[in-house]
Amino acid sequence: MTLMVAGGCTDREAEAKKAREEAEAKARAEAARKEMDALPKVFKNPDYLKKVEYPETPTSSNTSPKK
């Protein structure tokens, strides 16, 4: 009889511990997501590291002079 009582308390404690751990994990994940969203705003690449895009020049073989 005492084993049933002790076993019942352990299940509730385990469930409460699991729920607490899940809540903490969700809170950590949310904090990490917010931090990752904020990082691009704080740390921006300088202009000299940006890719330079040149305008395309038309290259056509039809513009060569006829002989």
Average pLDDT for 3-19:
75
pLDDT at 3 over 60: no
How far, in whole angstroms, is CA 30 from its chain's centroid?
A: 10
Cα separation, 21 vs 24, in Å, equals 5
- The pLDDT of residue 34 is 92
Q: Given pLDDT bands bounded at 50, 70 and 90, which one contains residue 60?
A: low
pLDDT above 90 covers a percentage of the chain that reads: 33
Looking at every residue in the chain, the average pLDDT score rounds to 78
Q: How far is CA 25 from each of CA 12, 29, 53, 54, 65, rounded to the nearest angstrom?
A: 20, 6, 44, 47, 72
Residues in the chain: 67
Q: Given pLDDT bands bounded at 50, 70 and 90, which one contains residue 42?
A: low
